Amino acid sequence: MEKILDINDLHVSFVTYGGEVQAVRGVDLELYKGETLAIVGESGCGKSVTANSIMRLIPSPPGKIKKGSIHFKGNDMTKLSNKQVRKIRGVDISMIFQDPMTALNPTLTIGNQLTEGLKQHRNISSTQANKQAVDMLKLVGIPNPEERMKQYPHQFSGGMRQRIVIAMALICEPELLIADEPTTALDVTIQAQILQLFQKIQRETGVSIILITHDLGVVAKIADRIAVMYAGKVIETGTRQEIFYRPNHPYTQGLLNSVPRLDQKGEKLIPIAGTPPDLFSPPEGCPFTARCPKAMEVCSRVYPFQTELSGTHAVDCWLQDERAKKYTASP
């Protein structure tokens, strides 16, 4: 399979009056053509900063990509000029955010907004652009698309607006779609419909998707692979099956125990006690130590080496490492 995105040792910080917030601290991620990668973790763990780095949307100052590379189809996004990035953004890589209204212009019709991107980036006639926009509205499940093209954003419900935003993101046929908490603002029924829509779009267009969410329940059906983030690091990655049925990191296990699961009805939900560490001065060792029910002496001192549990499953946890005993023995 073709690897379309390869993130290596990404470090992103924000320099503020209070000090340096180390938002992303050495993230490695890869994405293959046609797959859905979910990035999950509690609020503030660096999911959005990672995603925004791919699109070069980190505000600078105060933000800065301090180290690492982000290869998208061979180009290192961290090294491209602003002009080169603008050619990729919205065309080869598109992004969808939580609140659809931020992506829509209230003063323009849906038709105008959909065709605007096309006319800008593709050399096509208005008639062709209109036809493509209507087809795209059909794909995302908007009834009577020809009529709806003439309407304004406020004439649509929240769920329909998010469908339109998805249509806008897809209209230039990107290879990568990044969706940052795309269903968080929607109610549960609509949320399920939008998730089904992502699956349908992927089947029909072959686009690769990065889906970001704080809610593991959201990705239970649609992720091929899952990366679990904590305090600016990816602490466990695996296929959906590996993460849901053989979660290894105590944090992943904690997250799973705290969300409702369709396959385990009636299980009691147990929230993870405590809060994530301050990213101004993140702990030297494993950042989950203070909340971890299985923490050992070594955990607070040294960050764990990564252990490969299978070809697709990897975890950063001392519980998997024989060498932990050696460190425990030292003063």
Residues at the site binding ligand ADP, with contacts judged by CB under 6 A: 14, 16, 21, 23, 41, 43-49, 59, 62-63, 279
Residues 282-301 that bind Mg ion (CB under 5 A): none
Strands (E), 73-145: 75-76, 93-96
Provide, rounded to whole angstroms, the least separation between the CB of residue 133 and ligand ADP.
31
Provide, rounded to whole angstroms, the least separation between the CB of residue 52 and Mg ion.
9
Rounded-to-integer distance, Cα 111 and Cα 148, Å: 8
Nearer CB in complex with ligand ADP: 13/115 = 13
Contacts of 284 (CB under 8 A, 6+ apart): 300, 301, 302, 303
Provide, rounded to whole angstroms, the least separation between the CB of residue 115 and ligand ADP.
32
Provide, rounded to whole angstroms, the least separation between the CB of residue 290 and ligand ADP.
17
Which residue do the tokens 């105060």 mark? 62
Task: List the single partner that 115 binds among ligand ADP, Mg ion, none, CB under 5 to 8 Å by kind.
Answer: none
At residue 308, what is the residue type?
Answer: E
Joined tokens for residue 197: 């829509």
Provide, rounded to whole angstroms, the least separation between the CB of residue 148 and ligand ADP.
32
Task: List the single partner that 264 binds among Mg ion, ligand ADP, none, CB under 5 to 8 Å by kind.
Answer: none
Residue 310: how many other CB atoms lie within 10 Å: 10
Cα–Cα nearest to 214, from 27, 7, 48, 32: 48
Task: List the single partner that 317 binds among ligand ADP, Mg ion, none, CB under 5 to 8 Å by kind.
Answer: none
Answer whether 181's CB lies under 8 Å from 214's CB.
Answer: yes
Asked if 248 is part of the footprint of Mg ion (rule: CB under 5 A), the reply reads no
Nearer CB in complex with ligand ADP: 41/117 = 41
Task: List the single partner that 287 binds among Mg ion, ligand ADP, none, CB under 5 to 8 Å by kind.
Answer: none
Provide, rounded to whole angstroms, the least separation between the CB of residue 181 and Mg ion.
6
Answer whether 293's CB lies under 8 Å from 280's CB.
Answer: no
Please name every residue paired with 176 in a beta bridge, in sequence order, or none if there are none.
Answer: 93, 208
Task: List the single partner that 44 binds among Mg ion, ligand ADP, none, CB under 5 to 8 Å by kind.
Answer: ligand ADP
Residues 28-67 that bind Mg ion (CB under 5 A): 47-48
Contacts of 254 (CB under 8 A, 6+ apart): 270, 272, 291
Q: Which positions touch Mg ion (CB under 5 A)?
A: 47-48
